[in-house]
C-alpha cells in the first residue's frame, strides 16, 4: 500500500513539478503502458464472488446439519467460513476504487492541462477514503455474519461438545472485530464521508451525478 501511495504521489507530482513537457508526456505514457501490462484477474462476471460465497454458505450449512462425523462438520464449517469471507470480499470489490483506473483518468483527462495542489490532495483523499471504507465494510460484514454463523453452529445446530466452546470463542472474536470495524473510521474516511455511523453496503458514495442510492446514517 505504501508503495502504491508513493507511486501515485510521485506520478501526481511529476507533471506539476516538471517544466519539461516531454518529460510529462513520457511519465504519463509510461504509466498508461504499465497499467495495460498489469496482470488482470480473469472474471466470468462481476457477481461471481457473491455467487460463490452464497453457494459455499448454503452448501456449508446444509452439509453441516446433515453430517454426523466430527471431521466432516469441521470441513463444512471451513466451507461456511470461506463463503462468508467471499461475501465480504465481494463487498470490498464493489466499494473499492480502482486506483489504477482513477489515476489513468486523472492524467489523461483532456479537459485539464494542469492540476493544482488542492486538486491532487482532494483526489488522493477521495481514493484513500473509499479504499478504507471498502476494507472496513468488508471486514464488518464478514465478521458480523461469521459471528452469527459460529453462534448458530454452537447453540442451534447439533454440534459435538468438544467443538461448541471453539465456536463460541470464534463467535466472540468475530463479534469484537465487527463492532470495532463498525465504529472505527480512518481520518481519510472521516474527512470525505464525515464522522457518522456508516455501515450501509448499498451506498458507494460515488460522486458521479447519475449515481443513486439511499443513505441511512446516525449522527452521534
Partner 1 sequence: MFKFLITTFIFVNIYGFNVNHQIKPGADFETMSLGNSCSTFVGDKFTLSCNPASFPYYQSEGISLSLLGKADGDSIDNGRDLIFDPITEDLIRRLFEQKSFNSFTFDGSIKFNTSMFELTYTPYYLIGDLYIFNPAFPEISINLLNRETLRLTSGDEISQNKWGAKSISIGYSFFYYSHSYATNTFSLFDLSSKDAEELIAFKDDTGFDGKLSLLYLSNISFIPNISLQVHNFLDSAKFEKPNTDITQESILLFERYTTIGLGKSFQTTYGELELNFELFFSNFLDEFYSKYATLGMRYNLNLFSVNLAGSINYQNIGFLFRSENFNVGISYAREKDAPIIQSDYDNSTYIQMEVSL
Chain positions contacting partner 1, by CB under 8 A: 42-45, 48-49, 51-53, 55-56, 59-60, 63, 67, 69, 71-72, 75-76, 78-79, 81-83, 85-86, 89
DSSP string, 63-120: HHHH---HHHHHHHHHHHHHHHHHHHHHHHHHHS--HHHHHHHHHH-TT-S---HHHH
**C-beta of 55 vs 176, nearer to partner 1:** 55
Give whole-number Cα distances, 200 to 30, 33, 125, in Å: 38, 36, 20
**C-beta of 106 vs 167, nearer to partner 1:** 167
CB of 155 to partner 1, least distance (A): 23
What span, in angstroms and rounded, lies between the C-alpha atoms of 156 and 189? Answer: 38
Query: Which of these, 200, 194, 201, 199, lies nearest to 220 by C-alpha position?
Result: 194
CB of 44 to partner 1, least distance (A): 5
Please, are residues 127 and 99 in contact by the beta-carbon 8 Å criterion? yes
CB of 88 to partner 1, least distance (A): 10
CB of 7 to partner 1, least distance (A): 21
**C-beta of 16 vs 63, nearer to partner 1:** 63
Query: Which of these, 107, 109, 101, 108, lies nearest to 127 by C-alpha position?
Result: 101
Please, are residues 90 and 49 in contact by the beta-carbon 8 Å criterion? yes
**C-beta of 157 vs 200, nearer to partner 1:** 157
**C-beta of 59 vs 125, nearer to partner 1:** 59
CB of 136 to partner 1, least distance (A): 18
CB of 124 to partner 1, least distance (A): 27
Half-sphere exposure of 181 (CA within 13 A, CB side): 22
**C-beta of 44 vs 220, nearer to partner 1:** 44
Amino acid at each position: 500500500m505504501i508503495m502504491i501511495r508513493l507511486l501515485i504521489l510521485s506520478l501526481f507530482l511529476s507533471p506539476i513539478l516538471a517544466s519539461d513537457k516531454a518529460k510529462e508526456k513520457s511519465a504519463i505514457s509510461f504509466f498508461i503502458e504499465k497499467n495495460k501490462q498489469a496482470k488482470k484477474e480473469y472474471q466470468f462476471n462481476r457477481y461471481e464472488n457473491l455467487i460463490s460465497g452464497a453457494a459455499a454458505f448454503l452448501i456449508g450449512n446444509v452439509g453441516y446439519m446433515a453430517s454426523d462425523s466430527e471431521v466432516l462438520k469441521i470441513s463444512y464449517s471451513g466451507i461456511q467460513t470461506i463463503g462468508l469471507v467471499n461475501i465480504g470480499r465481494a463487498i470490498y470489490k464493489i466499494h473499492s476504487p480502482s486506483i489504477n483506473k482513477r489515476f489513468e483518468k486523472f492524467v489523461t483527462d483532456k479537459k485539464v492541462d494542469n492540476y493544482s495542489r488542492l486538486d491532487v490532495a482532494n483526489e488522493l483523499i477521495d481514493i484513500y477514503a473509499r479504499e478504507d471504507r471498502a476494507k472496513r465494510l468488508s471486514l464488518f460484514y464478514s465478521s458480523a455474519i461469521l459471528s452469527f454463523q459460529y453462534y448458530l453452529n454452537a447453540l442451534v445446530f447439533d454440534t459435538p461438545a468438544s467443538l461448541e466452546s471453539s465456536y463460541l470463542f470464534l463467535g466472540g472474536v468475530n463479534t469484537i472485530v465487527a463492532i470495532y470495524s463498525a465504529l472505527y473510521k480512518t481520518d481519510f474516511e472521516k474527512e470525505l464521508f464525515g464522522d457518522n455511523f456508516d455501515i450501509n453496503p448499498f451506498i458507494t458514495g460515488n460522486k458521479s451525478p447519475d449515481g443513486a442510492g439511499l443513505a441511512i446514517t446516525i449522527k452521534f
